[in-house]
Amino acid sequence: MMFGALWDLPEVYYLNLAGVYFIQAGEYGRIKIGVSKQLGKRVRTLQLACPYPLKVVGHQPDYPEDIWRAEEELHRQFESIRVCGEWFIPSHQLADYIKALYSPPEQYLD
């Protein structure tokens, strides 16, 4: 499943975002569900060890008191499509969840 233009935004938009992130490896690859306080830095770090281009396809804002619980709940919710660790198959169910989170800042909308 390809997310296409879902997050075709400049890195400056998500550079300092905090919260639960969804990063896809390659055009149709696995999706990592993780937590970061600096999403841009996290993407660059992951990219060093990944042979496929990484793309942020979704983000759930930071709620400090329950950010780790939110990540754990998502891992449980998508357990049936978990490949290994925090990596998941890009299913329709996961795509629908991510698309529901998508709301780019107004300056990036046509």
Chunk the chain into consecutive blocks of 10 residues (it has 110) and report each block's average pLDDT, rounded to whole numbers.
50 73 90 90 89 87 75 95 96 89 53
Whether residue 8 is contained in a domain is answered as yes
pLDDT for 80: 97
Whether residue 33 is contained in a domain is answered as yes
Whether residue 83 is contained in a domain is answered as yes
Whether residue 71 is contained in a domain is answered as yes
Q: For residue 6, which of 75, 69, 96 has the smallest C-alpha distance?
A: 96
Whether residue 109 is contained in a domain is answered as no
SS3 content of the chain, % helix, strand, coil (to 5): 40, 25, 35
C-alpha 33 chain-centroid distance:
6
pLDDT for 78: 97
Whether residue 12 is contained in a domain is answered as yes
In order, the DSSP letters of 67-110 are: HHHHHHHHHHHTGGGEEETTEE---HHHHHHHHHH----GGG--
Residue 89 in contact with residue 83, Cβ under 8 Å? yes
Residue 80 in contact with residue 92, Cβ under 8 Å? no
pLDDT for 18: 81
pLDDT for 67: 80
pLDDT for 86: 96
pLDDT for 37: 85
Whether residue 110 is contained in a domain is answered as no
Domain around 58: 4-104
Name the domain count of the chain: 1
Residue in the block written with tokens 């396809």: 57
Whether residue 97 is contained in a domain is answered as yes
